[in-house]
Amino acid sequence: MTALIQTIATPDGALTILADDAQRVLASGWSDDHAAIIERVHPSLRPDEIIEGSTDAADAARAYYAGDLAAIDAVAVRQRGTELQRAGWEALRRITPGSPLTYSEFAIELGSPQAVRAAASICARNAPALFVPCHRVLRADGSLGGFAWGLPVKRSLLDREAAVVLVA
């Protein structure tokens, strides 16, 4: 499989997007280090060839940063994981911008209230960040918790979403 990789400038720094030949996002993150992005892709989904090119997801990311928070919702993604992980990644896409959940609330959404660690692991293993918005899950005390691309990026995304929701 051949994949496209594209890096765009955002207010949070370089955002690199890796998409397969069907324009499904395999991985994305706030880094211009292509190897770091590729490394997040499940080994069975890693492309044989990667070329630089334009991705549909980049337009959605630009629209998101311009205030259209829903622009990322229609972007197709592709991940490989367990049944619980796949359900979790789908659930992350349903979290309303500006209304983050705690890891405990996210575990309840998954139908496993005791699976708080599993919920956190689902977020940690999420490769197409932004398009599967794992940044919308917080610790029980409201603190940020972790984020593969750094807590300043997570805080910025959450603040951006809260501000757009308040204006709307």
Catalytic positions are 134
* Token couple for 62: 């630009």
User: To 10 degrees, the CA torsion angle through 101, 32, 57, 53?
Assistant: -170
| The dihedral formed by the CA atoms of 65, 71, 76 and 78, expressed in degrees to the nearest 10 | 40
Determine whether 48 is exposed, middle or buried from the number of CB atoms within 10 Å of its CB (0-12, 13-18, 19+).
exposed
